[in-house]
Chain A
């Protein structure tokens, strides 16, 4: 299965909001629903300012915490991207808490996040944001090609931005969004080493299957053991009955003797 990825070149993003608008229109998002949010981040004091546009959107982590905690399978991995099938979402909201980038939100009682334009892409097109970006900051394609392009761009800007790097190759086993970072990611409040909560793994990988196996095992054991144990109990009841009959017979004998 081919792995696909997005390229997000923050050296080129001009914060025009075109991706936000086309995503919303193209995906026919509802009122108040959006998959991309551009947030301007500035650090330092004039004239020594740094920062840029934080593209707050799904980074499509390979080891996706939202997929790990999703109990219904509404969130799942496909072609290297993190898809969301809202029709099977139960609205538990675990994903909104687990995501290290705080991306999924609840909208009309169900999870809401970028699904990599699954419908558009499967019809042969590019994701809406990529199609619309006027500054060529976004691209979409096979992961290897995107990764190579990301490095080309990072290398090319290093003269002007010595800290330029490609973000998303190592984070969470590799993101489906390779970000060309002109500077330190933390300047955009993007965590350098995001983590999936350990307990989320414990829940999905240990507690869930363990509980099912243990319960079914106990039920089977109790079913078989119960039949055997009940038979023994019934034997003891028979003994009790026999003892009572003997007792009654004895009493009758005693009574007879007394009479006699």
Chain B
């Protein structure tokens, strides 16, 4: 791990610069894909698809979208590893947390089981995003390269799978934005810092870890000085 920036008084560093850039890449390519896909799905917007410009844009964005995991791996290997490991490790508090998910969804955190850097909902979100992204990339590549040889029925199936994956991802996006708003998390992805009180409520175990680390570092410094 690189050097950790010191904890500010009321703010905690949530995401460093590189993961933030990777996230921006994912978010922007996803939104372009959503919009350029929507012009085909939604008849009212269909005029925009004419001429094939949106298809070209869709494919450019698709390449960026598919590059995200590789870019993440090269730009921030430790962070990517940590995210993968954290996302698929559930402890007992996580399962208890999931059982009471609705309470969290309605804005109550104080009495929720204590959570680490990622809460159980975020872990679920990550797993679903990965699964659905795989499905959408797979079906999308088939449509891109093998469409003419599929035959009508298979073609319709691939299109339906592609669309349903995107529908699910879009619904996850709505939830993602919802929790970002409710729990004031946007600054974590823009500036990198979040309010320490929000963090303490939602990620108590993580904040404790950070505080313990900070205390240990402080103690080390004191001993060095002595």
Residue positions of A touching B, CB distance < 8 A? 65, 69, 71-74, 87-94, 96-100, 109, 197-200, 202-203, 207-208, 211-212, 214-215, 218-219, 222, 225-226, 228-233, 236-237, 239-241
- B134-161, CB under 8 A of A: which get 1 and which 0? 0000000000000110111101110110
In the complex, the answer to whether B182 meets A96 with C-beta atoms within 8 Å is no
- B206-224, CB under 8 A of A: which get 1 and which 0? 0000000000000000000
A73 to B122, CA, bound (A): 40
Residues of A within 8 A of B47 (CB): 72, 88
User: Chain A's interface: helix, strand, loop or mixed, by majority?
Assistant: helix
Residues of B within 8 A of A94 (CB): 155, 159
* B8 → A minimal CB distance (Å): 17
Residues of B within 8 A of A222 (CB): 174-175, 177-178
A230 to B55, CA, bound (A): 38
In the complex, the answer to whether B40 meets A96 with C-beta atoms within 8 Å is no
A163 to B107, CA, bound (A): 75
Instruction: Decide yes or no: A89 and B156 within 8 Å by CB, A214-B167, A219-B174, A228-B106 being known contacts.
Output: no
A-B interface pairs (CB < 8 A), number: 144
| B107 CB contact (under 8 Å) in A97, A215, A219, A232 | A232
| B201 CB contact (under 8 Å) in A93, A219, A237 | A237
| B170 CB contact (under 8 Å) in A91, A215, A225, A229 | A215
A89 to B177, CA, bound (A): 34
* A217 → B minimal CB distance (Å): 10
A94 to B157, CA, bound (A): 12
Instruction: Decide yes or no: A233 and B109 within 8 Å by CB, A71-B43, A73-B46, A240-B197 being known contacts.
Output: yes
Closest to B176 in A: A222
| A214 CB contact (under 8 Å) in B52, B151, B171, B184 | B171
A197 to B175, CA, bound (A): 34
In the complex, the answer to whether B175 meets A203 with C-beta atoms within 8 Å is no
Residues of A within 8 A of B148 (CB): 93, 96-97
A89 to B51, CA, bound (A): 7
Residues of A within 8 A of B40 (CB): 71-72, 90, 92
Residues of B within 8 A of A87 (CB): 50
In the complex, the answer to whether A202 meets B201 with C-beta atoms within 8 Å is no
Instruction: Decide yes or no: A215 and B49 within 8 Å by CB, A197-B153, A200-B152 being known contacts.
Output: no
In the complex, the answer to whether A199 meets B160 with C-beta atoms within 8 Å is yes
| B182 CB contact (under 8 Å) in A199, A218, A226 | A226
* B84 → A minimal CB distance (Å): 28
Query: Is B93 engaged at the interface, CB distance under 8 Å to the other chain?
Result: no
